[in-house]
Amino acid sequence: MAQSAGPARNVILTVDDDPGVSRAVARDLRRRYGESYRIVRAESGESALEALRELKLRGDQVAVLLADYRMPQMNGIEFLEQALDVYPRARRVLLTAYADTNAAIDAINVIDLDHYLLKPWDPPEEKLYPVLDDLLEAWRAADRTCVGVTKVVGHRWSARSSDVREFLARNQVPYRWFSSDEPEGRRLLAAAEADGERLPLVVTPDGTPLVAPEDAELADRVGLATTPAAEFYDLVVIGGGPAGLGAAVYGASEGLRTVLVERSATGGQAGQSSRIENYLGFPDGVSGAQLTGRARRQATKFGAEILTAREVTALEVNGASRTIRFSDGSAIAAHSVILATGVSYRQLDAPGCGDLTGCGVFYGSALTEAAACQGHDVYIVGGANSAGQAAMYLARHAKSVTLLVRGPSLEASMSHYLIQQIEGMPNITVRTGTVVEAAHGMDHLEQLTLREPASGHTELVDAQWVFVFIGAAPLTDWLEGTLLRDDHGFVLAGPDLTSDGGPPPGWELDRPPYHLETNVPGVFVAGDARAESAKRVASAVGEGAMAVMLVHRYLEQS
């Protein structure tokens, strides 16, 4: 990789496997943009991805990616697809010959391509610079991250440090991580007059230091919306997973005053997935972060309001109004509500796991920890798709990945395509009929005791990393006494409300509940929180859209 010297600036990166062409492209770029942007060039997709990862770690921002289509090992489309995971807001340009224009057009849908350029483009003043000028202007206007970056100082085995990094990453807030043991970390702690006992220290782009902030304060200080703009809406969507985002997109696009309320980060469990390969329209797969980012931008484009780090504690019925109460005592009201609260992974109840959560024991993919797994042995608990996707992703970094599955096989809970991929990875081992008996370690995970229930055999293994994907617990306890739920806490709706086909208890309307409507008229449920739901991303998005259609029907008859 070759790159310009000098201090770090916003970056334009170009990749072409032909050295002569690569130098020519970089020359044209430097001539026009060299004073304002750092020009980075690479001669393969892999080296370009390595450069992007280095830039990300340094906190640099990439404005535009230009990739040649015809490259060996990894073509331009494949590179831009993977680059989305590192810099999702960078503008993407494919360099192509006339014979490959069909591939470029297809890439518009596959990787959300911004533009494609035919080579050669002489003179650049007519065929290159006007295109890049427009893309750079759009990037500067849309991307607030180019003016500064959040800094996080913490300890590798600090549970709260891990939580903060995950919160920022999942909300697509760029940040730089500094260990409290390294010189720059110590300098930041000293500048903030922090003693290092309470971690993490978060320094916002404007230089404000926050010591061990809670999510709500952190969200507010890094520019995420936490306060509703109004007191009354047509539609409140609770939960920002695929179902909630789908409902927000369709609600706002169809003219409803819509607000989405999320207690942590949009995307839900799907947003933590490293790669979703069976979602319609993405034949090469899409990461949960990419899908979430696009859906969030789509919802806000249509005018939906998105509140982050706001926990809903109560749903109240006040005549025709539905009131949503927050944990701080404030409230908003609406004509209708869609519950899309999803599910959370069940906790391991084995001794030691609770004390080591965030210190080697993680629930969900914790993608921010993946790089630290380089060269280590990693264990994953679970046998469903989320566990399989995490295994495939972590296998890129880890020395070995061991899937611990309670059942006799993967076939009952994991998609066939994932099972085939896992079987083809030499550093992934599947251990069926095995559970975690205990976790051991002082300030971080050091060992696991594994047990085979059928034989009673136990084994002590060295382990610093275990990622847990077991079961699905609905986040619906706060609805007790308001909505009807099944024995597992999932919300009942439509025909599932009663066994005899009649109206649910207390139902006063002369019509039966709509398909996704709960026992409270105007309150709907979509996605994984609904009893008997399919527990798939595509079905959750579909239910979110369907719920909005039923909201319209409800409002028309109210």
What whole-number distance in Å separates Cα of residue 385 and Cα of residue 459?
26
Helix (H, G, I), strand (E, B) or coil at 3: strand
User: Cβ of 348: how many Cβ atoms within 10 Å?
Assistant: 21
Q: Where are the beta strands (DSSP E) in 239-330?
A: 258-262, 305-308, 312-318, 321-326
Cβ atoms of residues 364 and 469 within 8 Å: yes
Closest C-alpha among 395, 404, 478, 479 to residue 436: 404
Which residue, chain included where needed, has tokens 């230009």?
66
Q: Which CATH number fits domain 148-212: 3.40.630.30, 3.30.420.40, 3.40.30.10, 2.60.120.10?
A: 3.40.30.10
- The answer to whether the beta carbons of residues 455 and 449 sit under 8 Å apart is no
pLDDT at 356 over 90: yes
Q: Quote the pTM value.
A: 0.75
| Extents of the domains making up the chain | 2-145, 148-212, 232-344+473-557, 361-468
pLDDT digits (tens, 9 = 90+) for 362-382: 988 666 777 788 889 999 999
Confidence class for position 59, pLDDT limits 50, 70, 90: low
CATH for 361-468 (3.40.47.10, 3.40.50.10800, 3.50.50.60, 3.20.20.30): 3.50.50.60
The pLDDT score that the predictor gives to residue 174 is 84
HEC-encoded secondary structure of 487-519:
CCCCECCHHHHCCCCCCCCCCCCCCCCCCCECC
DSSP tag of 120: P
CB 201 within 8 Å of CB 152: yes
pLDDT class for 283, splitting at 50, 70, 90?
confident
Which residues, 6+ apart, have CB-to-CB distance to 24 below 8 Å?
none
pLDDT reading at 147 higher than 50: no
Q: What is the mean pLDDT of the chain?
A: 90
d(CA 175, CA 49): 19
Residue 100's pLDDT band (cuts 50, 70, 90): low
The CA distances from residue 537 to 92, 109, 237, 416, 472, in Å, are 26, 19, 17, 17, 14
Going by their DSSP bridges, the two strands 312-318 and 377-381 should be labelled as unpaired
Per-residue pLDDT tens digits for 475-509: 999 999 999 999 999 999 999 998 777 789 889 89
Rounded CA gap, 456 and 381, in Å? 18
Among 97-101, 134-138, 255-259, 427-431, the range scoring the smallest mean pLDDT is: 97-101
Q: What confidence tens digit (pLDDT) does each residue in 106-132 have?
A: 667 667 788 888 877 778 898 899 999
Of 45 and 273, the structure prediction assigns the larger pLDDT to 45
Is the pLDDT assigned to residue 431 strictly greater than 90?
yes
2-3 vs 38-42, strand pairing mode: antiparallel
> Tell me, what's the pLDDT at 8?
46
- Assess contact for 81 and 53: CB atoms under 8 A: no
Pick the CATH number of 232-344+473-557 from 3.40.50.150, 3.40.640.10, 3.40.50.1100, 3.50.50.60: 3.50.50.60
Matching CATH topology for 232-344+473-557 and 361-468? yes
Q: Kindly report, residue by residue over 515-534, the tens digit of the pLDDT.
A: 999 999 999 999 999 999 98
Residue with the larger pLDDT of the pair 529 and 193: 529
Q: What is the pLDDT of residue 146?
A: 42
User: What pLDDT, on the 0 to 100 scale, is given for residue 5?
Assistant: 38
Q: CB-based contacts of 174: which residues, under 8 Å, 6+ apart?
A: 59, 61, 145, 149, 150, 168
Place 213 in a pLDDT band, splitting at 50, 70 and 90: very high
CATH superfamily for domain 2-145: Response regulator (3.40.50.2300)
